[in-house]
Amino acid sequence: MKIDRRRFNTYLGNIGEIMAEEYLRENGFQTWLIRPLYIGEKVAGKRVDHLWLFHPQRFRTINGHITGVEFNEEELKVLKRFFEDKVDDFRNYMESILSDTEYKYRPDLLAKKNGTIYIVEVKVNSGTQYLKGEKLRGLLLATEYGFTPMLVTINVDVEVADFKMKVLGKAKKNDA
């Protein structure tokens, strides 16, 4: 069956991010998937239901223009478990990748191993060809805040086998 792969790019990207996260975990990293893909995501070993770091509700705005990023006390506790003494550095990094109205760049994952925190970009089925412009600048900007940029490239393929269709009934006539 031939399909237009462009329709699946977002889904393949999400699958690639999850696969990269699993690979990093298997290799001794603590990880934090930026976009919550399911309730109950574990961060630093603790279950977190609603801590979507780059959600617009975190924006501090004045007259419709974003001026910063805010976290409540409970969120700060969760952040400190992962970032330890680098929470303010991460907030400053988040603010540095903001435009006037939105994020210019959002990393895919955060990872930590041996005290080093990585800002991770995952590229699926494209190698590095789409890592340019704002994405590249946003990723490399991490170094200015004490974080290490990491690029993970992965090829994901979807195979459809034994595709079968079965009609389960007939439409009833409407005799109105």
Q: Which residues contact 59 (CB under 8 A, 6 or more apart)?
A: 66, 68, 69, 70, 98
What's the confidence (pLDDT) of residue 54? 64
Domain ranges for the chain, please list them: 5-154
Q: Where are the alpha helices (DSSP H) in 27-85?
A: 73-83
Say yes or no to pLDDT of 50 above 50. no
Sequence-ordered strand ranges (E) for the chain = 30-33, 42-43, 46-47, 59-62, 65-69, 109-113, 116-124, 148-154
- Average pLDDT along the chain: 80
The lowest-confidence range among 12-16, 68-72, 100-104, 162-166 is 100-104
DSSP class of 20: H
pLDDT band at 37 (very low <50, low <70, confident <90, very high): very low
Asked if 132 and 140 count as a contact pair (C-beta separation under 8 A), the reply is no
155: tokens are 């090829």
- More confident site: 174 or 112: 112
Q: Identify which of 107, 83, 111, 84 has the alpha carbon closest to the alpha carbon of residue 25.
A: 111
pLDDT band at 147 (very low <50, low <70, confident <90, very high): very high
Say yes or no to pLDDT of 9 above 90. no
Q: What is the distance, to the nearest Å, from the Cα of residue 170 to the centroid of all Cα atoms in its chain?
A: 44
What's the confidence (pLDDT) of residue 97? 83
pLDDT band at 39 (very low <50, low <70, confident <90, very high): very low
Q: What is the reported pTM?
A: 0.77
Bridge partners of residue 123, in order along the sequence: 153
Q: Which residues contact 131 (CB under 8 A, 6 or more apart)?
A: 121, 123, 139, 151
